[in-house]
Structure formats: structure tokens, C-alpha cells
Structure 1
């Protein structure tokens, strides 16, 4: 730590102090050459920690984050990154199980790099978390570096300041007085300032009037609100604090809620469409328009000891009317009508042309090597492709949804180790691949079902974020609508010296003082 700076008045000031803590005189040569000390009054000329300690590694880190420029740069970088993340859709909105391939196919080289650098899942990326954390650290350090010396300076304000301090204020006045006039003039000034709701302190021939100190804390209350807000955002990265997922539940299906120990059952889905007569002609080509759709749902929780599902909530889920339980919200978001749920297939003897029997394939509940029995025959499922496609002449599935189901079956006699294989795509037997087979598998019927799209939302951090927002607004109001105003008066060597300072709205302060009738000789330095 560097040695302290001693003022002409005898007060020993910490290194980095710009204005003497006792009399207010400038301590460094650059400030001494200035006509006014308005800029130095921001923190009362007090030494900040970043100006005092310089040597240790902790000091270097502290000084780095105490810079407002660093905070602004961090915010700008984060805003630019967030802007880039909006160029293409985020992964959660991409209709593909392979985001990397989707971005490259849809958006070319830009899409490929968009995914590689993590912009496709930006809000869950480590670097976005790091940037938000660094902004929070910068806010904390910047605030502590300034609020502590400001608190000390305002708490220990001196009534008696030097003549040099008063004459360097932006609003000043100076007049000659006799010894008899001095006390009377100070008394009138005290009364006039009190009429303007100033709190006045007087020590002999010196006077200090002050009001609106609360405004000085506005920016720091605002910082506290922003810190709480960012803390709430960071809480969303903690498992269990935030969840925003989408799930599809078919009618009659019981499905686990993603990442939570709950299950939801779709007991029924109802939809009402607008009468086409009441739909504008410009929108009739788009097909039926949903007027109302709702899901009758039951929410279950698995008992840890028995493993059984226990109903904990039940109700109808409509748009803007979610099913709520504790921190969980199930929100109606979408629907799909007439989805394939199951296929009825029949086994046909090609020699006789007769159907030997039927079997039902549940498209959402198929197991490897599942066996279907048709009289004395066994139909074994070897492969299943829910959304069939060919890629490099090899069968693949584009998604887990049964949009174009394809199967590879093996038909064999009961007890037979190996039988004949059949390809069935969308319920149609491929004759060109199975022309030598004795048996064919053909479509006998379809079972359709409606599906509801629910958004699963958990946000325990929302109250923290809202609380931070409220604190931030309080700080903004404090800073914008109150002004910290001070007036010093000193009688010295037969002259009255007056200096006035405010953190904003100088014209208003000048007008207020002149309206009292006791400050006619005020001079305002416009620089």
C-alpha cells in the first residue's frame, strides 16, 4: 500500500484521495489547476479501493472488475452473442433429432458454425453462463468499490469546509460582511433553507444544509436489483430450478413428465372449430381454425416406497389456463389430430389367397423380437423404422414419430428356428422384395388417435427475478426523482462564502436558492 497523503490542514488522507476528507481542498496537482471540482464530488473525492491497493493478484482482479469500461464491454459482448443466437432457431424448436445435420442442411456453412459454436443452444451453453456470471461479478465489485467510500464520506460530512472548496463549487457566492451582520446573515440563510426542507447543521460561523441524500443510493439500489436479477437467471442453471420442455401425450396414454418425478395421463382431448361461414374468405383456404381445445388430464406422482402412481392433481388444460401443482405448470400449447396409433395387419397365404388371421401392431409400444401369433404361425418383429427413409441406400428413421412406419417381419411355423422375411412399409407389403415368400402381410385397418402438446414449465427462480426487478425499479425512482443538494456557508475574515452542489439538475438548484431571497449574488460556473 502506498503512503497516505497529508493535506495543508493537517489531515492525513488515504492514498488515492482527491479531495481532503476534512476541508475539501484538492490534493493532486491536476485537480488543483481546475476551476471547479464537480467531477471529483461524485464520490466526495474519497479514495476507492481500486485506487489504493495495486500490488497483489487479488488487487489486479479487483481493479479489473471495478472498471465501468469492463462492465460495459461484457454487456456489449453478451448482447451481441444473444443477437447472433436469434439468427437461426434454437435447438428446442428444431424438428429434428440430429440438430447438427439439420443446421448444416437448412442453413449451409453458416448453420454448421452456428451449431459448432453453441449458438443453437445458447441459453444452456457454458459460455453464456460465464458471461452472465462475469457481468454479475463486475456489478458487485463496481458497487462495493464506490459505495463504501461514498458511505463513509456522507456519514462523516464536515460542516466547516475551506474557502478554496467553496469557491471551486459550480454555484458560488461571495460578499463582504461586518462582524455584526455575519451572525444575522447565517441565521437568515438557515431559516430560508429550512423553509425549502433542507436539514441544516451549524457550527459557529459555518453552515451546511442538505436534502435528498437518498438519491445518492439510487444507482447502488439499482445495482443490487440487477445483481439479484442476474442471480435469479443463474439459478435457472441449477437442476430442478427451471424447466421449459414440450411433451406430446396421446389420448389414453400415461407419460412421464421430462426430468420430473411426475406422470401425466391424457384422459381425453376435445377440440371445437370455428364455423367456416364465420371465417373470413382470406383464411378459409388454410382449413378449419380451432376455436377451443382442451385436455382432460390427471397428474400422478410415483410413491417412493411402493412405486405406484398416486393422483395429485386433475383438471382441464386450456390455452392460458394451465394445470398447476406446486412449482409445475402444464400449459396447453398445441394439438395433433388423427395420428396413427396402431395398425391392423393380416397374414395372407399367397397360394390360396386366404387371410390366415390378423394381428395389431401398437406403433408406440413395440419391443425388439416381439412375437405376434396368427393361428399356428409366429410373426416376429426384427426391425422397426417409425419414420422410414433411405440414406445412402440404407434404411433410417428421420424421427421417433410414426409418420411412415416400416417393419421387417419374419414369418415362421410354430417352433421353427428360421422363417421367411417380409418388408412392410406404411402397411403395404413390398412384393418385389417378397415375391418368393409364401406369405404376405397386408394392411387390414388403422387406429387413429388425437395427441395434445403440453409445455412443461417449472420456474422457481421467477420470484427472485421479479424481486430483483422491483428493487431495480426502486433504485431507478430514487435516482431519477430525488436530487442530492447541499449548500455550505462560511464566514471568514469579514467575508461570507457560499458554495452549492447537486448531483443533477443544476438549473433547478440555482432557481430554488434564488427564490429564497437570500442568495441574490449567486454565480454559476457553466463549465
Structure 2
């Protein structure tokens, strides 16, 4: 079957339309510096919002702290906050979209502006000037009548220039790393953006309040990316061997500690560490931080009964008086009478109240007191450790990006200096420029010109003699 050649021509032209549109329309927009600055500012604003607004809290938390009446700033209520996703800014589709768009802008700028400029510097055929008028554009240039390229060459070599020669034209440069630096900066920013996206998609944050002596697996996930399931540990658990608090002589908390063991699927200890604030436990990409503490239970004895343990719950103080924990202890077998016991820390005094709310006694752990006709002995307060658990596979990527960013910034501070020379019609033309450290380059250039002028003078004296 014969095919119409004009049809094939149209078909091939249609295939080129997206490429032409991408090259002529989309790439200039993406590589526009104004767009990159606008995207960077937007990312900065929403990142600040994600820092100011508490992330990953419950709906009740936001209802309590961002009520509808009165609304914060007149519009920011808990409903607006949840609808916009400000409770998990870094995992919202629009924040990830900003990161992707900014990364596309950096990529477009790199390939349309910086890499072509670098390719230009790699082609020596384009670096030579062959006309004297080309030296008029330099702020630093000179013309000599009795000097040749052979006189210029050793002077530039002494200044550690890389030299190229083509017939009667010479090109010298140094500090090319300064032109590569911005490309490295762009690459590092792209790496950081990739890390941020990977972290948002695969990382998770969990919180656990574990009594001393208990074993747990990570269950209470408060914030997680859509692909974070593979990061949540399932084949190992953690045992809190002991939790304790160090206090200052004034009674304030100095530091709290958790002695923790990582157990494999068979219950065998594979790692043990005592953690405290700013000293976490890390295992298989999961980091456990010491973040909080509480009182989980109290062990008591009534007269000569066996020791029994009662859970303690944190009481609502209405934001006054700090944190306190309490429980009810029966003093009769039929539970018809009892007392309430209140504690505010693991070392302080415990307050005992009757059913009418009257303070009837005080006691410390390890001591006993008579109440309601019985002897109540408090054996021990059981503390609980509050852990913040995180997994973020992007951390090595982000760290590598920041390392590369620092390297790129240092490279960018290297001055890229260029000097051209041309010998034509018995005269030598020389000129140069640099992209930074202008004063240093001017001194270097003037020193070279002075030496050339001195050589010219010596040659004239020799000819006269």
C-alpha cells in the first residue's frame, strides 16, 4: 500500500511540535530567575508556617488552640488549618508541588544557561581574538610595539594561568572552578529537594508513652508519608528497662533518662543504650528521642496485703500549677471507701485526699501513713518515658546535598580570570577581565603590563646601543 509522502511529513512535524513548544515556550519560563525567586519565597513562607503551627497533632488539639471565636488573625481557625493541610505542611500535595516546580526551574536554568556557558569555555576555538578592535572593550588593556607573544607566555605561566595559542593569538585563564561552582550549587539544591520529597513520601513520626519495664512496638504513628509503611519496624521491639529522673538540689528536673534495649523477633537483645535529651537511640534507620515523661502507676500496700499496682492518670489543671497525676485507692474490700492520691513528680511528696476533697495526709515513696483506719504504704512510683520516634530515609541525601552546597559555595568564590593577547602588524594587544575580586585582578594585570613595558624598554635600549 502506497503512503502519501505529505502525510508522513505532517506526522513527523506533529511529533516535533511538543519538542519545539518545550524548547521555545516552556523552558524560558521555567529558567526565568523571577520564577525561581518567587517559588523560593513561597517555599520559605510555607516552611515558616510549618514551623510555627504545631505539626501532626490531633483534631482536638487544633480545636482547642485555634478556635473559631475569636479566630487567629481574624481568619485562621482549626477548620481552615485542617482544610489547607497546615497541620502537616511538608506532606501536602501543594508543598511537594512547589518543591517539584522549583526543582524543574533549577534544572531548566542549569541546562539552558550554565551548562552551555561551560561548554563554551571548553572550546578553545572560540576563545581567541583575532582583531585589535576586540581589545577595546576591556577596562584593562594595553598595546605594545616591540613585544611578542613569547614575552607574554612566561609571565602568565608564573601567575598559574592555563594557556592556549592559535597562530598569533593567545588565550589564558585560571579559576575555571569558579564557573563550575554555580552548577555545583544548583546540583546540591536539586539533591536537597529530592531528599525533601523522599522524606515527605517515605518518612514517619510516632509518639509513645511507655511505663518503665514495658516492651513495645511502634504503633502510635502521628504523621506518615504515603509510602512510609516499609519504614515502620515490624520485626523488632524495644524494652524500656528503666526510666529515671535526675533532679537539681532545688527540686527542678535536671535530666531524664531511659535505659532501652532493642529486641529482635525472638526476644534477643541486639542493642542497648541509655538515652536522654539530645542523645537518641538509632537502629535500622529509626531514631528514638527522649521527649517527655510521666507517672504511669503507683505500687501500694494496705495493712499487710500483697503489693498491688494502680495506674495513675494525668489530671487536667486548666493550665495552672504544672502537671499532676492522680489515682483512687480503695481502703475497704467492698470499695465503699477510699482515698485519692496526687503526685507531681517521681521524688516529691504524695498528697492524700478523702472523698470530700480534704487533704488528710502526705506520704513519700517508701513510707506509710494511717488513713481511714488502715495503714497505707506507698512502695514505689512507676515512671513512664515519652518517646518521639522518627524515620527519615532522606537524611543521607539531604546531608550530601548540604555538603555539596558548601563545596559549591566555596568554589563559586574562586575568581575566574581571563587574558587575551594578539600579535598583529608588529604590535601586541593584550587585555583581560575577571568575574570577581576585581581589585586583585587589576593589580595582577598591571604587574604583567609593567613587566612587558620594562621588557619593551630594555629591547629599545639594546637596539639603540
TM above 0.5, yes or no, is yes
Matched, 1:501 2:433: yes
> Are residues 133 and 404 of structure 1, via their aligned partners in 2, closer, same or farther at CA, if it must alter by over 3 Å?
farther
- Partner of residue 401 from structure 2, selected from 468, 485, 501: 468
Matched, 1:70 2:43: no
Question: Matched residue of 1:449: which SS?
Answer: strand
Matched, 1:90 2:22: no
Distance 1:107 1:189 in 2: 79
> 1:260 — aligned with what?
233
- Partner of residue 392 from structure 2, selected from 459, 464, 470: 459
Distance 2:446 2:69 in 1: 67
Structure richer in helix, relative to its length = 2
> Are residues 483 and 57 of structure 1, via their aligned partners in 2, closer, same or farther at CA, if it must alter by over 3 Å?
closer
Conserved? CA contact 2:290–2:386, under 8 Å: yes
Structure 1 segment 148-163 matched on structure 2, within 5 A: 148-158=115-125, 160-163=128-131
Q: Which runs of 5+ in 1 are unaligned?
A: 1-52, 277-287, 303-307, 345-359, 365-385, 390-401, 407-421, 432-443, 522-527
> 1:326 — aligned with what?
284
Of stretches 484-493 and 470-479 in structure 1, the one that deviates more from structure 2 is 484-493
CA deviation after TM superposition for structure 1 residue 98, in Å? 2.1
> Are residues 320 and 103 of structure 1, via their aligned partners in 2, closer, same or farther at CA, if it must alter by over 3 Å?
closer
Distance 2:69 2:397 in 1: 38
> Are residues 250 and 510 of structure 1, via their aligned partners in 2, closer, same or farther at CA, if it must alter by over 3 Å?
same
> 1:146 — aligned with what?
113
Question: Matched residue of 2:193: which SS?
Answer: helix
Structure 1 residues 18-51: Cα deviation after superposition (integer angstroms, max 9, x where no partner):
xxxxxxxxxxxxxxxxxxxxxxxxxxxxxxxxxx
Question: Matched residue of 1:515: which SS?
Answer: helix
Matched, 1:172 2:141: yes
Conserved? CA contact 2:196–2:398, under 8 Å: yes
Distance 2:119 2:418 in 1: 17
Q: Which runs of 5+ in 2 are unaligned?
A: 1-17, 220-231, 302-307, 317-323, 329-335, 342-352, 357-373, 455-465
Conserved? CA contact 1:91–1:99, under 8 Å: no
- Partner of residue 335 from structure 1, selected from 293, 310, 313: 293
Question: Matched residue of 1:122: which SS?
Answer: helix
Matched, 1:251 2:220: no
- Partner of residue 512 from structure 1, selected from 429, 438, 444: 444
Distance 2:253 2:309 in 1: 31
Conserved? CA contact 1:514–1:520, under 8 Å: no
Structure 1 segment 112-261 matched on structure 2, within 5 A: 112=77, 113-158=80-125, 160-163=128-131, 164-175=133-144, 177=145, 181=146, 184-239=147-202, 242-258=203-219, 259-261=232-234
> 2:66 — aligned with what?
104
> 1:300 — aligned with what?
263
TM-score with structure 1 setting the length:
0.61
Distance 2:443 2:160 in 1: 15
Distance 1:404 1:131 in 2: 48
Question: Matched residue of 1:252: which SS?
Answer: coil
CA deviation after TM superposition for structure 1 residue 315, in Å? 3.4
> Are residues 118 and 260 of structure 1, via their aligned partners in 2, closer, same or farther at CA, if it must alter by over 3 Å?
same
Distance 1:147 1:153 in 2: 10
**RMSD between aligned residues:** 3.9
CA deviation after TM superposition for structure 1 residue 334, in Å? 2.2
Distance 1:79 1:271 in 2: 39
Question: Matched residue of 2:128: which SS?
Answer: coil
Conserved? CA contact 1:232–1:465, under 8 Å: yes
Conserved? CA contact 1:272–1:293, under 8 Å: yes
Question: Matched residue of 1:268: which SS?
Answer: strand
> Are residues 105 and 60 of structure 1, via their aligned partners in 2, closer, same or farther at CA, if it must alter by over 3 Å?
same
> 1:394 — aligned with what?
none
CA deviation after TM superposition for structure 1 residue 300, in Å? 2.7
Question: Matched residue of 1:455: which SS?
Answer: strand
> Are residues 140 and 323 of structure 1, via their aligned partners in 2, closer, same or farther at CA, if it must alter by over 3 Å?
same
TM-score with structure 2 setting the length:
0.68
Distance 2:184 2:134 in 1: 29
